[in-house]
Amino acid sequence: MQLTQNKNISHALLAASCTLLGVTPVAQAAGNSEDGWKIDTALLLYSEQDRVSAVESVIAASKDFGDQHIFSGKLVIDTLTGSSASGAVPQDKVQTFTRPSGNGQYQIEANTLPLDDTFHDTRVQLNAQWTQPVMENTRVSSGVHFSKEYDYLSLAVNASLARDFNNKNTTVSAGFSYANDTIDPEGGRPVGFSGMVINQGQFSSEDAYKNAFDLTRQDGSDTKSTLDLMFGLTQTINRRMIMQLNYGFSKVDGYLTDPFKVLSVVDQSGTSVNTLYENRPDNRTKHNIFVQGKYAFDSGVADVSYRFATDDWDIDSHTVDSKFRFNLSDNSYLQPHVRFYQQSAANFYQPFLTQADPLPAFATADYRLGEMTAFTLGLKYGMTLESGNELAFRVEYYQQNPKNNGTPLPGQLQQQDLFPSVKALMAQVSYSF
């Protein structure tokens, strides 16, 4: 038989097989073991009230090349715009600050928390991961990560080994990742605790201002390295339940200061007399323990996890996360999400510096390193389309509630809200095919 006449043999055989077996042919071809690429796409909108908003698009692709040789890759592009708290305290009069680049100023109205509005950036992230079995019941996985922002470059490698025991009911894994980040902010990195130079007409020329500003800056870029070690244990309890226990260790060395954050120096009346750039230690060691349980009901899945993290900056945190998936039908589900988070303040966190006290070795007023609680409430609706592709919608409300870590507030600061809540809304659409 000639090949040109062969084209419909497969279909003719399908029809003949169905006649022989007395069944109706299924229109869809048998997608099977080594399916083509599986693609996940998602678009996320994140908006904090009066602050940062972000648009994030994700495209992830994975392919099983057979024998559990799996490649997965991910591209994330996000665009951030808006303002973030600079660390300075609100005052009863208008305040003027120099932009982080040194080019220009911004003013903050009276009784308003200072937000730095120059915050906008585009970040591109790329991940690639390869996983394959190495011997019976053992898999290795390794990957690379690349992330680039305007003033930030991160490169990372990772590798892990997982081995199944006990008829695959127990999986033990160990892994590491190593990242090297380079930070090169526009205008240079501030000298720790140097005073913000604000041009209020005291300079004879623009050059004189520029010289004064440059004295508060360090040349060139700086780096940060992060080593993570992870150990995991996954145990199948029964047909419906699976438990996971992870321990993570993380060691960060290098430039850990946020070049955009400052502290106000206040006098006895709570009036700001100076603004200093923050200064953080150049290393941090973290430990975390994570426990997760998943239980499959007849009509859904419950997923509850708890994480405890502690570090040598004295930030201890607790996270409880729970998701409950309710299957509405064979091809749609509803998934509420509740997350609660609590952390203690870093030992060098203080909402401001006082003129009377000597400078500490390190200090930050970044509320993200202060005492706080946060919660997330979310709802996701997912459905499987007739084509077999999946479409899901997710909305979440997120609120951070920073707290005073016991610092007495002098004078006018008692009338100010130094710890306002940050409220954010997230909406996501995702599609997998």
Partner 1 sequence: MQQPFVLEHKTGHICGRFYAMASPCELLIDTDDMLVAQQLVALAYQETKRIEQKFSRYLPDNIVHQINSAEGNPVAIDDETFKLLSFADTCYQISQGMFDITSGVLRKAWRFDGSDKLPDDSLVQDLMPFIGWQKIHFDQHQLRMPKGYELDFGGIGKEYAVDKVAQVCLQAQPTISILINFGGDIQITRARDGQQPWVIGIENPLNQDKAVKTLSLYHGGMATSGDSRRYLLKNGERYSHILNPHTGYPVKNAPRSVTVIAEHCIQAGLLATLALLQGEQAEAFLKQQQVQHWCMR
- Site residues, partner 1 (CB under 8 A): 1, 3, 5-7, 9-10, 12-14, 16-23, 25-26, 29-34, 64, 66-68, 167-169, 239, 296
Alpha helices for 22-89 (secondary structure H): none
Judged by beta carbon, residue 19 or residue 107, the one nearer partner 1 is: 19
Would you list the DSSP string of 239-285?
SSEEEEEEEEEEEEEE--S-TT-EEEEE-TTS-EEEEEE-B--SEEE
Minimum CB distance to partner 1, residue 433 (Å): 14
Minimum CB distance to partner 1, residue 18 (Å): 7
Minimum CB distance to partner 1, residue 416 (Å): 54
Q: Which amino acid is at 19?
A: T
Other Cβ atoms closer than 10 A to 414: 10
Minimum CB distance to partner 1, residue 390 (Å): 11
Minimum CB distance to partner 1, residue 48 (Å): 36
- Distance CA(8)–CA(14), nearest Å, equals 10
Q: Strand runs (DSSP E) across 332-421, as ranges?
A: 332-343, 353-354, 371-384, 390-403
Q: How many Cα atoms within 13 Å fall on the side-chain side of residue 183?
A: 17
Judged by beta carbon, residue 163 or residue 368, the one nearer partner 1 is: 163
Q: Which amino acid is at 318?
A: H
Judged by beta carbon, residue 24 or residue 200, the one nearer partner 1 is: 24
Minimum CB distance to partner 1, residue 119 (Å): 41
Other Cβ atoms closer than 10 A to 96: 13
Q: What is the 3-state secondary structure (H, E, C) of 89-150?
A: CCCCCCEEEECCCCCCEEEECCCCCCEECCCCEEEEEEEEEEEEEEECCEEEEEEEEEEEEC
- CA dihedral (356, 279, 341, 302) in degrees, to 10, reads -170
Name the pairing type of β-strands 317-329 and 105-108: unpaired
Burial status of residue 326 (CB atoms within 10 A of its CB: 0-12, 13-18, 19 or more): middle
Query: CB neighbours of 282 closer than 8 A, spacing ≥ 6?
Result: 253, 254, 255, 256
Phi and psi at residue 213, to the nearest 5° = -60, -45
Angle, alpha carbons 47-49-50 (nearest 5°): 110
Judged by beta carbon, residue 22 or residue 201, the one nearer partner 1 is: 22
Minimum CB distance to partner 1, residue 167 (Å): 4
Judged by beta carbon, residue 36 or residue 104, the one nearer partner 1 is: 36
Tokens of 193: 């605790």
Q: Are 137 and 164 in contact (CB under 8 A)?
A: yes
Judged by beta carbon, residue 31 or residue 104, the one nearer partner 1 is: 31
